[in-house]
């Protein structure tokens, strides 16, 4: 077991306790006796101090040439790569995902850092011809101000990076509130960023609960932007509070993602992808495949292949090489998932799993058996609600129209996937499945750092993360006209219209 550490808030470049002196702890979900650290249980006064520091640093940072900001991010990317193994191990210990996945989480942060470092030399605006002679027209990106960043525990380093790096390259400063289940990952991430040369006050971290830290951050009049990832209900609350001060708000919320397996699909490929998409990160991904819509002609064959594979999955501590599926985040999650398993037993047929896993060393942590239900009705609760655990529902189908209806019948619209060799169906799925991410012959997981990420309907409020789309959220457009004609030229009035004589 590794030693318990004392962690601090980062405010104005200093590592400090909560003003109240209060603390909380974070423990490993694989072994609740393994306490990772103590953290400031912060409150409104700590948020005020962090926002004041971020506001104070804004002028210097936003006036730093973007290519210089990019150079700092480039150095940060290199440092994150150097610390990748250390960060991944801390993540597995604090959050539970198996080590190869934790390495992938850190790699996402590295990828976004490199991508956004390059943006320092682009941050493209636009120039367009004016309708007037001797007049210049362009639109430039401007920094906005202080960004409040509120992150979940399931991607404890990638998601803060997705939000922070575009904010920083655009010239904004930031206050991050990490999830209370994974504060160590974010504090260690911030330490490495500061080592990379982020100036004091540009990045601040305040740990503590959603109520005590999240609310004052969202309501603070000097915070201009809120970027949030988490549950849909939390997002609605944040959006409502932020509306009082007309903040710009980006919400990345829940999912209920389907994989469609058509009758002609390569079943072996579909099997590998389903196991990865449904049970990777113990099903605790916003893009997890929690619905399998399977053509009735291959349903029995595929289900038996899946049952066998799932029966062979090894549960355990994510730090151990033999582990396929790690714990879920905490005991409350085990209870919630068990509640859904009970609902599922009444709504459908249980194929495998359905219980908390307590054998041997598993009793020390929060584990749930990988679970499959079949003969699930499309409108059953287990097929409609986000369970956020290792549970997936098989829905047999007969025809394509019915499939499209079922895919789109949930309130979320994050990731959809189709396995087929029929090219016409592949393109129809791209057109007709209502989601922000679409895959063909690949599971619901696999987004890369340079394309927009986000969803439709209750998965968000229309914004996208990473890639170019993130720059549109973290910067403000300013349209600029320079008239060098030396006379008054009235747009729309002093113009000669060719088709109106």
Q: Hey, is 122 helix, strand or coil? A: coil
Pick the piece of the chain touching ligand NAP (CB under 6 A) from 132-140, 252-260, 264-272, 307-315.
252-260
* Sole binder of ligand NAP in the list 108, 172, 219, 252 (CB under 6 A): 252
The residue from 26, 31, 229, 273 that contacts ligand NAP (CB under 6 A) is 229
250 binds ligand NAP (CB under 6 A): no
* Contact status: 230 vs ligand NAP (CB under 6 A): yes
286 counts as catalytic? yes
Active site residue 263: no
Contacts from 304-312 at CB under 8 Å and sequence distance 24+?
A: 305/267, 305/268, 305/271, 306/271, 306/274, 306/275, 306/351, 306/372, 307/351, 307/352, 307/372, 309/271, 309/275, 310/275, 310/279, 310/352, 310/353, 310/370, 310/372, 311/352
**Interaction of residue 203 with ligand NAP, rule CB under 6 A:** no
Report in angstroms how near the CB of residue 453 gets to ligand NAP at its nearest. 6
Whole-angstrom distance, CA of residue 299 vs CA of residue 119: 47
Among 214, 316, 353, 413, the residue binding ligand NAP under the rule CB under 6 A is 214
Q: Which residues pair with 320 in a beta bridge?
A: none
Site for ligand NAP contains 180 (CB under 6 A): yes
Residues in the chain: 501
Kindly state whether residue 414 participates in binding ligand NAP, applying the rule CB under 6 A: yes
286 binds ligand NAP, rule: CB under 6 A: yes
When asked if residue 234 is in the footprint of ligand NAP (CB under 6 A), the reply is yes
Q: Looking at 255, 389, 438, 443, which residue binds ligand NAP (CB under 6 A)? A: 255
User: And the tokens for 419?
Assistant: 């396995």
Task: Using CB positions, name the residue nearest to ligand NAP.
Answer: 214
Verify binding: residue 209, ligand NAP, rule CB under 6 A: yes
Residue 151 binds ligand NAP, judged by CB under 6 A: yes
Binders of ligand NAP in range 448-477 (CB under 6 A): 455, 459
Strand partners, 205: 10, 176
Question: Are the CB atoms for 286 and 414 separated by under 8 Å?
Answer: yes
Distance CA 387, CA 380 (A): 13
Catalytic residue selected from 94, 219, 252, 465: 252
CA 158 to chain centre: 7
* Per CB under 6 A, 215 contacts ligand NAP: yes
> Residue 435, interface with ligand NAP (CB under 6 A)?
no
**CB of 106 vs ligand NAP, minimal distance in Å:** 16
Q: Which of 119, 170, 219, 286 is catalytic?
A: 286
Rounded Cα distance between 178 and 162, Å, is 13
**CB-facing half-sphere around the CA of 149: CA atoms within 13 A:** 32
Q: If we measure between CA atoms, which residue out of 205, 200, 190, 145 comes closest to residue 172?
A: 145
Given 145, 152, 318, 327, the residue binding ligand NAP (CB under 6 A): 152
- Given candidates 154, 277, 374, 475, which one binds ligand NAP under the rule CB under 6 A? 154
Comparing C-alpha atoms, which of 405, 475, 139, 462 is closest to residue 258? 405
Q: Does 7 bind ligand NAP (CB under 6 A)?
A: no
Range in contact with ligand NAP (rule: CB under 6 A) among 140-148, 197-205, 224-232, 297-305? 224-232
Which one of residues 279, 340, 388, 473 is an interface residue with ligand NAP (CB under 6 A)?
388
Q: Is residue 179 part of the contact set for ligand NAP (CB under 6 A)? A: yes
Contact flag: residue 415 with ligand NAP (CB under 6 A): no
Structure tokens of 423?
């090219």
39 binds ligand NAP (CB under 6 A): no
Contact (Cβ atoms closer than 8 angstroms) between residue 379 and residue 325? no
Q: Applying CB under 6 A, which of residues 177, 188, 224, 295 lies at the interface with ligand NAP?
A: 177
DSSP string, 3-27: PPEE--EEETTEEE--TT--EEEEE
Could you tell me if 319 and 92 are in contact, meaning their C-beta atoms sit under 8 angstroms apart?
Answer: yes
Of 77, 169, 192, 238, the one binding ligand NAP by CB under 6 A: 238
Helices (H) and strands (E) in the chain, counts: 15, 22
Q: Are 412 and 256 in contact (CB under 8 A)?
A: yes
Q: DSSP string spanning 165-206?
A: HHHHHHT-EEEEE--TTSHHHHHHHHHHHHHTTPPTTTEEE-
As given in the structure block, the two tokens for residue 426 are 């592949």
In whole angstroms, how close is the CB of 275 to ligand NAP at the nearest point?
A: 20
Applying CB under 6 A, the span of 129-137, 223-231, 317-325, 361-369 interacting with ligand NAP comes to 223-231
Judged by CB under 6 A, the number of residues near ligand NAP is 31
95 contacts ligand NAP (rule: CB under 6 A): no
Q: Is 29 in the site for ligand NAP (CB under 6 A)?
A: no
Angle, helices 66-82/84-95, rounded to nearest 10 degrees: 70
Q: State the minimum distance, in angstroms, from the CB of residue 281 to ligand NAP.
A: 10
CB of 222 to ligand NAP, least distance (A): 17
Q: Which residues bind ligand NAP (CB under 6 A)?
A: 150-155, 177, 179-181, 209-210, 214-215, 218, 229-231, 234, 237-238, 252-255, 286, 386, 388, 414, 455, 459
User: Residues with catalytic annotation?
Assistant: 252, 286
């Amino acid at each position: 077991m590794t030693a318990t550490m004392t962690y601090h808030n980062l405010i104005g470049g200093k590592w400090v306790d909560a003003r109240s002196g209060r603390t909380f702890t974070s423990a490993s979900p694989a072994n609740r006796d393994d306490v990772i650290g103590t953290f400031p249980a912060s409150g409104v006064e700590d948020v005020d101090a962090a926002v004041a520091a971020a506001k104070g640093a804004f002028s210097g940072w936003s006036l730093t040439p973007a290519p210089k900001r990019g150079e700092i991010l480039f150095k940060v990317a290199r440092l994150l790569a150097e610390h990748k193994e250390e960060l991944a191990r801390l993540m597995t210990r604090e959050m539970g995902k198996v080590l190869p996945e934790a390495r992938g989480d850190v790699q996402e942060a590295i990828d976004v850092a490199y991508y956004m470092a390059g943006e320092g030399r682009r941050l493209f605006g636009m120039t367009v011809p004016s309708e007037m002679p001797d007049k210049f027209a362009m639109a430039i990106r401007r920094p906005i101000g202080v960004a409040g960043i509120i992150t979940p525990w399931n991607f404890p380093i990638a998601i803060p990076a997705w939000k922070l790096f575009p904010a920083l390259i655009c010239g904004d400063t930031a206050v991050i509130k990490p999830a209370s289940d994974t504060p160590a990952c974010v504090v260690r991430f911030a330490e490495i960023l500061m080592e990379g040369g982020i100036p004091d006050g540009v990045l601040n971290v305040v740990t503590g609960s959603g109520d005590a830290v999240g609310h004052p951050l969202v309501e603070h009049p000097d915070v201009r932007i809120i970027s949030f990832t988490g549950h849909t209900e939390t997002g609605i609350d944040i959006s409502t509070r932020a509306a009082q001060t007309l903040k710009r708000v980006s919400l990345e919320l829940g999912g209920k993602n389907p994989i469609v397996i058509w009758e002609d699909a390569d079943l072996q490929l579909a099997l590998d992808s389903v196991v990865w998409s449904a049970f990777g990160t113990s099903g605790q991904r916003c893009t997890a495949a929690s619905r399998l819509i399977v053509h009735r002609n291959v349903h029995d064959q595929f289900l038996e292949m899946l049952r066998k594979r799932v029966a062979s999955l090894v549960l355990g501590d994510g730090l151990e090489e033999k582990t396929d599926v790690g714990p879920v985040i905490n005991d409350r999650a085990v209870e919630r998932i068990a509640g859904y398993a009970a609902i599922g037993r009444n709504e459908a047929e249980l194929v495998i799993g359905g219980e908390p896993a307590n054998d041997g060393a598993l009793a020390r942590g929060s584990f749930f058996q990988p679970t499959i239900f079949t003969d699930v009705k499309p409108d059953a609760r287990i097929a409609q609600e986000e369970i956020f655990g290792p549970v997936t529902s098989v829905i047999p189908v007969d025809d394509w129209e019915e499939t499209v209806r079922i895919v789109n019948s949930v309130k979320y619209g994050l990731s959809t996937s189709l396995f087929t060799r029929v090219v016409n169906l592949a393109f129809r799925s791209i057109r007709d499945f209502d989601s922000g991410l679409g895959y063909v012959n690949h599971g619901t997981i696999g987004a890369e750092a340079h394309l927009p990420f986000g969803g439709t309907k209750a998965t968000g409020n229309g914004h996208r993360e990473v890639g170019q789309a993130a720059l549109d959220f973290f910067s403000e457009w300013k349209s600029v006209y320079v008239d060098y004609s030396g006379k008054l030229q009235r747009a729309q009035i002093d113009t000669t219209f060719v088709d109106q004589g």
